[in-house]
Copies of this chain bind each other. A is one copy, B any other.
Amino acid sequence: MPGTSLTIRPLAASDEAAWRGLWAGYLEYYETRVPEAVYQSTFARLRSGEDHEFQGLIAHLGDRPVGLVHYLFHRNCWKIENVCYLQDLFTERAARGQGVARALIEAVYARADAAGAPAVYWLTQEFNYRGRMLYDKVGMKTPFIRYNRPV
């Protein structure tokens, strides 16, 4: 898509429909769904500007919404400063291979720098091969694995 520029900016109220579409695509990747109340509360929180809420960025290629990322600053006992947890990252299928996900991660890095957060991290499934091809370039695999309380 020569001539189509990529822009990344914080979610605006007017992005709600676009954000819903992208986030549904993301949840589908994880073969999950969330109730309407979660769409509503999460979008409101992402837009709230409050300290302890996730924030959201949306990526456009030209006018087309193509990706999103959510991130949270939270405490870490090992540090004075907050660290940054990047929870959701998604590029719609048709826009892959154009650097959208990398640009979203780098946009979070820039916001972490601006906030003085000395660390950014995320979790991904061991078998998310496409994601990891990128993550190995922009991040560093750690030996940490996640355990959950059994449901």
CA distance A32 to B147 in the complex (A): 23
Which of A41, A46, A127, A147 has the most CB atoms of chain B within a 10 A radius of its CB?
A147
* Chain A interface (Cβ < 8 Å from any Cβ of B): 27, 32, 34, 37-38, 41-42, 45-46, 51-54, 70, 72, 74-80, 85, 87-88, 109, 112, 119-127, 129-130, 132-133, 135-136, 138-150
Query: Do the beta carbons of B52 and A51 come within 8 Å of each other?
Result: yes
How many identical subunits does the complex contain? 4
A147 touches B119 (CB 8 A): no
A146 touches B144 (CB 8 A): yes
Contacts of A38 in B (CB 8 A): 77-80
27 sampled A-B residue pairs with Cβ under 8 A: A27-B78, A32-B78, A34-B79, A38-B77, A38-B78, A38-B79, A42-B78, A46-B77, A51-B52, A54-B77, A70-B77, A72-B75, A109-B149, A119-B149, A121-B148, A123-B145, A126-B126, A126-B144, A127-B132, A127-B136, A127-B141, A129-B130, A129-B133, A139-B148, A141-B147, A142-B148, A144-B145
